[in-house]
Amino acid sequence: MNYAVKAVVAASLGLIMTQTVHAEDSVRLVLDWAFEGPQAMWSAAAKSGCFEQKGLDVSIDRGFGSGDSISKVASGSYAIGVADFASVLAYNAEHPENPLIATFIVSDRSSASVNALKSSGIVNPKDLQGKRIADPQGEASRMLFPAFAKANGIDMSKVSWVNVAPNLRQATVVRGQADAAAGHLLTVVNGFVSVGVKRDQIVSMPFAEYGVDVPGNAVVVKPDWARAHPQQMRDFLSCTVVGIKATITDPQAAIASLRSFNSMLDAKLEAQHLDFATHVAVLTPHVKANGLSNIDPARLNSSIIQIADAMDFPAPMSSSVWTADYLPPQQELAVGNP
């Protein structure tokens, strides 16, 4: 075979290998919610060019709550999802034959909450007994509510649930068809404000301030998929860190990056939402001191036991629901003191 033919063959093989790698590196990501301020980390990661630089072809779709993203990853429709950690534990308990595993803790602190109007007379957790709480089935705060109830002495049998679409929770309370609304703290509070309720008329009870110190959103995958795609997982999580850091160092640019996914974005409002998510859930004192997704083993075990005990399923081994095998090096995870 002469040199020219060898060159052509080599080039052809190189093209085939490149095409194969890119085909293998196509990744579908489903978020926990719509393209709003708290989701700017994902659009910022895409905008940064990190995925392309690492040879990843990542498509990003909105989700409709943790239950939705969990089901889509579990079914294989999406390789990677964003979902509430407690919801993942609950799913695994019911589906031991098809579990998911968390590979990165996005929200060091859960934003699960219950919110009511001051006019309802609800001012503390025990006041929820005998009341109706609006929330969709499978929503993260509803899944975690038993832990909140146990930590605060609430008799679950005296609480009733009103099943509603996510966008109707607040209106259902305002119309008197429910007494409180559960859900992501920011989402529910802003939902009340959007239907005319003044902020000082809302009573909020974040679970994290009432005895439920557990992680919030996490990046979740099927364990088998992660083991089969270790480099893709490492590269994806490295870009996840790039996106999170972008929301911290340049939140305005991060919000601007959302326009590629949500052209109707209210930039000013979503900037406020991002600031809330960053400083309440993501950039906690623990993260500032120890870096992103550097969860303390003792806290992780305590969270698993608390969630499992409240939801009445055997506490799993932490290694079955969490792995740090694909995390970037510690120096990449460090956020300093922004």
pLDDT, residue 334, reads 97
Examine the domain organization and report whether 85 and 121 are in the same domain. no
Examine the domain organization and report whether 92 and 221 are in the same domain. yes
Percent of the chain with pLDDT over 70: 92
Which candidate, 124, 178, 169, 131, places its Cα nearest to that of 151? 124
Examine the domain organization and report whether 73 and 141 are in the same domain. no
The ranges of the chain with pLDDT < 70 are: 1-24, 337-338
Examine the domain organization and report whether 130 and 98 are in the same domain. no
> Is there a domain that residue 203 lies in?
yes
Identify the residue whose tokens are 């703290």.
Answer: 185
Contacts of 46 (CB under 8 A, 6+ apart): 58, 60, 243, 257, 260
Domain boundary among 155, 188, 209: 209
Which candidate, 179, 171, 176, 178, places its Cα nearest to that of 197? 171
Domain boundary among 153, 178, 209: 209
Examine the domain organization and report whether 244 and 302 are in the same domain. yes
pLDDT, residue 9, reads 33
> Is there a domain that residue 256 lies in?
yes
> Is there a domain that residue 254 lies in?
yes
CA 336 to chain centre: 23
CA 208 to chain centre: 16
> Is there a domain that residue 98 lies in?
yes
Task: Round to the nearest angstrom and report the end-to-end CA distance of the chain.
Answer: 61
pLDDT, residue 127, reads 98
Question: What sign results for the dihedral spanned by CA atoms 96, 97, 103, 105?
Answer: negative
Tell me the one-letter amino acid at 218: A
Examine the domain organization and report whether 105 and 137 are in the same domain. no
Domain boundary among 183, 209, 235: 209
Complete DSSP assignment for 166-178: GGGHHHHHHTTS-
pLDDT in tens, 17-56: 333 334 447 999 999 989 999 999 999 999 999 999 999 9
What's the pTM? 0.83
Strand partners, 184: 112
Examine the domain organization and report whether 281 and 178 are in the same domain. no
CATH code where residue 96 lies:
3.40.190.10
Q: Looking at the 3D structure of the chain, how many domains does it have? A: 2
Examine the domain organization and report whether 116 and 101 are in the same domain. no
- Domain that includes residue 182, residue range: 112-209
pLDDT in tens, 243-283: 999 999 999 999 999 999 999 999 999 999 999 999 999 99
Examine the domain organization and report whether 92 and 238 are in the same domain. yes
Distance in angstroms (rounded) separating the CA atoms of residues 226 and 231: 9
> Is there a domain that residue 3 lies in?
no
Give strand ranges (E) for the chain: 26-30, 57-61, 80-84, 101-105, 112-117, 132-135, 160-163, 180-184, 202-206, 217-221
Examine the domain organization and report whether 140 and 34 are in the same domain. no
Query: CA-based Rg of the chain, rounded to a whole angstrom?
Result: 21
> Is there a domain that residue 15 lies in?
no
> Is there a domain that residue 8 lies in?
no
CA 273 to chain centre: 15
Tell me the one-letter amino acid at 239: C
> Is there a domain that residue 116 lies in?
yes
pLDDT, residue 338, reads 55
149 burial type by CB count under 10 A (0-12 exposed, 13-18 middle, 19+ buried)? buried
